[in-house]
Structure formats: C-alpha cells, structure tokens
C-alpha cells in the first residue's frame, strides 16, 4: 500500500474540511448538502467525459490510479536490474531462453525474450522494433493522462453554471418581501456549486491526472531499461557490465549495488 499517497490525499481533504470549519459556522453547514449543486457538477462532468473521452477508458484509468494508490504498485527499478543481471548470468552459463522466461513475471521482459527466442527479427532491427513499441506505448499513456487532466476544466465550469442559475433565481425574487434579508444566505447557496466544482477538479481530477502521467513516465523508463538489458543479455555480456549499464538510467541513490547481488567485494 502506498501510505504516502494515501496520507497526502487525506491531508488535502483535511485542509478543505479545515477551511470549511474555520470559515463557516456550524449552523450553516447544511448549505453544503445542496443536492442540485452536487448533481449539476458531477452529472455535468460525467456527461462531458462521456462526450470527450470513452467512459470505459476513464474507468480503466481510475483503476490504474487506485491500484497504484492502494496496492503501492510502484516500479522498483533495482529489482528489474537485479532480475536482468541474474538472467544474463544464467544465459552466459548456458541456460535457455525458455528457462529465463519462466523466472520472470514482467510482461515486457517475457515479450522481448520470446522475440529473441523466435529469432525471426534479428540484431539491431529487433531492438529498434522494441524501442518503437515502447515509444508508442508511452505516447498512448501520456495522451490518456492528458485527456483525463483535461476533464478538470469541466467541474468549475458546471459549478459556475450552478452559481449563475442561483443568481438568476435570486435576482428574479428581489422584489419580494424581506428580499434584502435573503440576499446573503441566497448568495452563499449560489456559490456552493462553484465550491464543489473547484474541489472536484483540484482535489481529485487534476491530481489523478498528474499521477497517471507520472506512472506513464515510470513505465517508459522501466521498459527502456529492459530493452537495454535484453540487448546486453543477447550478446552474453558480463552481468556486472549489464548492471552498470542499466544503472546509468537511474539517479545515484536509485542504483543497484551489484556487489551485494553478486557477493563480490570491491
């Protein structure tokens, strides 16, 4: 479980609630139970999403986000490098590609090993093809995260729509009895829709979109490491050189200490 992300989400919700508690008196809390405003913001956003993005794709993106949030499914590059290093050592020792595939659960490693084993596309052409796949995958994921983030413009717009509708109703009744006394409470109710729109966009949609974009970058980097690892593995490169080459993709504090893995001491 990704405790840091969950704690961050709870924190931001706490900030919003603290803002409400410190600004609004308890007798005014009922204003936020405005079902028409909530329906207008959420229903309008859902309708706009149905037009601009396939709803099933939105569901898959949300599923990917919550898996990352709740399951803590972040990519551990050290484990990937360690796995490829051990495969390189086994392959140099005479292990078959089939046996290497059986030792990993990483789908892209299995895909690459299968292509090496098939031996239909060879040499640089094979790895150029894998690089092209990775690049296209990254563009696809990036575009989807951008589309999701673009949904963040709709809740504030529908919230403003709710505010305008409330203002129309308010102004149309200004000639009534005690109209002046009702302006303050009525204005507060009008602005509730805008509040829900801002919260929906900035607490949920935009952060989720940023998380999906970050996840796309992580997957892209992981796949680049795998391609380079398979390239080195296919030429039976020394596992230590494999580890050092793959470490070059990472920051110093993220790199694998191959000495601990191999049991060698510098």
Between residues 59 and 217, the one the model is more confident about: 217
pLDDT band of 265, cuts 50, 70, 90: very low
CA dist., res. 117 & res. 100, Å (int) = 11
Residue 95 predicted with pLDDT over 80: yes
- The mean pLDDT of 87-100, rounded to a whole number, is 94
- Assess contact for 50 and 167: CB atoms under 8 A: no
CA dist., res. 189 & res. 9, Å (int) = 27
Distance of alpha carbon 227 from the chain centroid: 23
The pLDDT score that the predictor gives to residue 2 is 60
Exposure class string for 106-133: b at 16+ Cβ within 10 A, else e: bebbebbbebbeeeeeeeeebbeebeee
Distance of alpha carbon 234 from the chain centroid: 33
CA dist., res. 93 & res. 236, Å (int) = 9
pTM for the model stands at 0.81
Residue 171 predicted with pLDDT over 70: yes
Output the six-digit token pair for 134: 């990775």
The pLDDT score that the predictor gives to residue 138 is 95
What is the average pLDDT score of the chain? 86
CA dist., res. 48 & res. 151, Å (int) = 8
Q: Tell me the per-residue pLDDT of 247-261, one tens digit each, with 9 for 90 and over.
A: 999 999 999 998 887
Q: Tell me the per-residue pLDDT of 36-75, one tens digit each, with 9 for 90 and over.
A: 888 999 999 988 888 888 777 777 777 777 776 666 567 8
Between residues 115 and 65, the one the model is more confident about: 115
Q: Which residues contact 115 (CB under 8 A, 6 or more apart)?
A: 121, 126, 129, 130
Between residues 93 and 176, the one the model is more confident about: 93
The pLDDT score that the predictor gives to residue 69 is 66
pLDDT band of 7, cuts 50, 70, 90: confident
Angle at 120 between CA 247 and CA 241, to 5 degrees: 20
Output the six-digit token pair for 226: 């795998």
The rounded percent of the chain whose pLDDT value lies above 70 is 90
Residue 104 predicted with pLDDT over 60: yes
The pLDDT score that the predictor gives to residue 264 is 56
Considering 6-10, 57-61, 74-78, 82-86, the range whose residues carry the highest mean pLDDT is: 82-86
> Which ranges of the chain would DSSP assign to H, the alpha helix?
3-23, 35-52, 55-70, 77-92, 97-101, 107-118, 123-150, 154-172, 179-199, 206-234, 239-247, 258-262
Residue 140 predicted with pLDDT over 50: yes
């Amino acid at each position: 479980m990704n405790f840091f992300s969950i704690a961050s989400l709870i924190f931001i919700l706490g900030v919003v609630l603290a803002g409400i508690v410190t600004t609004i008196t308890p007798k005014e809390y009922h204003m936020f139970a405005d079902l028409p405003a909530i329906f207008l913001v959420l229903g309008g956003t859902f309708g706009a999403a149905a037009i601009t993005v396939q709803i099933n794709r939105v569901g898959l993106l949300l599923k990917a986000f919550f898996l990352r949030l709740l399951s803590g499914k972040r990519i551990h590059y050290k484990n990937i490098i360690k796995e490829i290093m051990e495969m390189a050592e086994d392959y140099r020792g005479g292990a078959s590609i089939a046996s290497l595939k059986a030792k990993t659960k990483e789908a892209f490693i299995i895909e690459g090993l299968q292509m090496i084993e098939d031996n239909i596309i060879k040499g640089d052409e094979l790895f150029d093809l894998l690089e092209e796949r990775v690049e296209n995958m990254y563009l696809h994921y990036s575009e989807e995260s951008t589309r999701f983030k673009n949904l963040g413009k709709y809740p504030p717009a529908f919230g403003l729509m709710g505010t305008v509708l409330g203002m129309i109703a308010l102004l149309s009744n200004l000639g009534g009895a005690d109209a002046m006394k009702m302006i303050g409470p009525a204005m507060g109710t009008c602005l509730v829709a805008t509040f829900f729109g801002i919260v929906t966009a900035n607490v949920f949609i935009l952060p989720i979109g940023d998380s999906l974009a970050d996840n796309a970058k992580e997957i892209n980097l992981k796949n680049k490491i795998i391609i380079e690892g398979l390239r080195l593995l296919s030429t039976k490169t020394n596992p230590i050189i494999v580890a050092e080459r793959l470490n070059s993709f990472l920051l110093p504090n993220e790199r694998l200490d191959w000495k601990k893995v191999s049991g060698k001491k510098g």
